[in-house]
Amino acid sequence: MQSYERGAALYRDTPPRPLAEHTEFLDTFARLVAGGEVLELGSGTGGDALYLGRCGLRVLPTDGARSFVQMMRDQGLPAKHLDIRTGEFGGPYRGVLANAVLLHLSRADLKSFLERVSRSVAPGGVLGFTLKEGDGEGWSYKKLGLPRHFTYWREPDLRDLLAVTGWEVTRLQHVEGHHDLWLFALANHSGDATQ
């Protein structure tokens, strides 16, 4: 979190080159949500919130870094400070989006998150999120020159985790990014956790 607080301006000024798969992912998420209010977690500079707003969704952007929250407010977005590890999500929402934020959670913390966020979606609600694909976990100084911790996932383990926390996979896509491999996931809460 400290790295994002310190590196927010650099993050804003060096945006990643857009991926066609990312735009398609947001379009599919918007279509599945089909209107209604969306909670976005880890909104960063607010690019996805602005895009989904143009798709007709009412988006509540949030971030754990106060510097990002201020950047979004400066753009007129109704951003709120929210730490996904400890905060309350509220709701119910038609959808929850967490693009490139859950990858910072440990495996145990991701399980806890999936259980907690299920209480914040309306029946048939949609969860969209992205993770880095790979094995293990580790620290990286790429992009910001500041330490960021990542947990990597493989599809079978992620599918198992979603199933035991009551989420039914709608779509799980392998995406080759500019520097990393990604998993783009969309799921509905089945209300049938087997924990």
* Per-residue pLDDT tens over the stretch 51-70: 999 999 999 999 999 999 99
Q: Is 132 exposed, middle or buried (0-12, 13-18, 19+ CB in 10 A)?
A: buried
* Per-residue pLDDT tens over the stretch 123-137: 889 999 999 999 999
Under DSSP, is residue 91 helix (H, G, I), strand (E, B) or coil? coil
Confidence class for position 180, pLDDT limits 50, 70, 90: confident
Which DSSP symbol is given to 135? S
pTM above 0.85, yes or no: yes
Written as one letter, the residue type at 157 is D
Averaged pLDDT of the chain: 89
CA-to-CA separations, 120 to 74, 76, 96, 190, in angstroms, rounded: 27, 25, 8, 13
What is the structure's pLDDT at 190? 77
Which DSSP symbol is given to 177? -
Bridge partners of 49, per DSSP, are: none
Domains assigned to the chain = 2-189 (3.40.50.150)
What is the structure's pLDDT at 124? 86
DSSP alpha helix (H) spans, 35-185: 47-54, 66-74, 107-117, 155-164
Position with higher pLDDT, 151 vs 4 = 151
Model confidence at 149: pLDDT above 90: no
Q: Are 181 and 195 in contact (CB under 8 A)?
A: no
